[in-house]
Amino acid sequence: MTRIFSGVQPTGNLHLGNYLGAIRNFARLQDGNDCLYCVVDMHAITVWQDPAELKKNTREVTAAFLAAGVDPIDNIVFNQSQVPQHAELAWIFNCVARMGWLNRMTQFKEKAGKHRENASVGLYVYPNLMAADILAYKATHVPVGEDQKQHLELTRDVAQKFNNDFGEEFFPIVEPLILDSAARVMSLRDGTKKMSKSDESDYSRINLTDDPETIELKIRKARTDPDPVPDGSPEGGTRENRPEAFNLMEIFGALTDQTIADVQRDYGGQQFSAFKRAVTEVAVEKLGPMGLEMQRLMADPGYVDSVLAGGVKRAKEIAGPILDDVYRIVGFLR
Cβ of residue 141: shortest distance to ligand AMP, in angstroms?
13
Question: Is residue 9 a contact residue for ligand AMP (CB under 6 A)?
Answer: yes
Question: Is there a catalytic annotation at residue 111?
Answer: yes
Quick check: 62 binds ligand TRP (CB under 6 A)?
Answer: no
Q: Does 183 help bind ligand AMP (rule: CB under 6 A)?
A: yes
Q: Verify whether residue 114 is a known catalytic residue.
A: no
Instruction: Kindly list the distances between the CA atom of residue 175 and the CA atoms of 5, 38, 129, 131, 148, in Å, as whole numbers in the listed order.
Output: 11, 18, 17, 12, 12
Spell out a b/e string for 237-260, using b for 16 or more CB atoms within 10 Å of the CB, else e: beeeebbbbbbbbbbbbbbeebeb
- Cβ contacts of residue 242 below 8 Å, gap of 6+? 191, 225, 227, 230
Can residue 253 be called a binding residue for ligand AMP (CB under 6 A)? no
Please give the single-letter amino acid code of residue 291.
G
Distance of CA 58 to the CA centre of its chain: 14
**58, 85, 128, 148: which one binds ligand TRP (CB under 6 A):** 148
Contact call for residue 130 and ligand TRP (CB under 6 A): yes
What stretches of the chain show up as alpha helix (H) in DSSP? 16-18, 24-29, 41-44, 51-67, 85-94, 99-103, 106-112, 121-135, 149-166, 212-221, 243-256, 260-267, 272-298, 301-330
CA dist., res. 157 & res. 144, Å (int): 18
Nearest approach, Cβ of residue 107 and ligand AMP (Å) = 9
Can 218 be counted among the known catalytic residues? no
Rounded CA-CA distance 245/227 in Å is 9
Q: Is 222 in the site for ligand TRP (CB under 6 A)?
A: no
CB of 42 to ligand TRP, least distance (A): 9
Strands lying side by side in the sheet with 175-177? 76-79, 34-39, 3-8, 141-143, 175-177
Number of residues that bind ligand AMP (CB under 6 A): 16
CA torsion through residues 267, 197, 303, 27, sign? positive
Quick one: what does residue 5 bind among ligand AMP, ligand TRP, none, with the CB cut-off 5 to 8 Å set by partner type? Answer: ligand TRP
Judged by beta carbon distances under 5 to 8 A according to partner kind, the member of ligand AMP, ligand TRP, none in contact with residue 197 is ligand AMP
Return the residues of window 34-53 that contact ligand TRP according to CB under 6 A.
40, 43
Our finding on whether 3 is near ligand AMP (CB under 6 A) is no
228 binds, among ligand TRP, ligand AMP, none (CB under 5 to 8 A by kind): none
Q: Which residue is catalytic, options 55, 56, 111, 316?
A: 111
Q: Does 230 bind ligand AMP (CB under 6 A)?
A: no
222 binds ligand AMP, rule: CB under 6 A: no
One of 5, 12, 18, 318 touching ligand AMP (CB under 6 A): 18
Minimum Å distance from CB 49 to ligand AMP? 13
Backbone angles phi, psi at 36, to 5 degrees: -120, 125
* Cβ–Cβ under 8 Å, residues 129 and 42: yes
Per CB under 6 A, contacts with ligand AMP among 20-49 are 21-22
User: Phi first, then psi: what are they for 37, rounded to 5°?
Assistant: -120, 120
- For the annotated catalytic residues, the residue numbers are 111, 194, 197
- Residues at the site binding ligand TRP, with contacts judged by CB under 6 A: 5-7, 9, 40, 43, 130, 133-134, 142, 144, 148, 151
- Residues at the site binding ligand AMP, with contacts judged by CB under 6 A: 8-9, 17-18, 21-22, 144-145, 147-148, 183-185, 194-195, 197
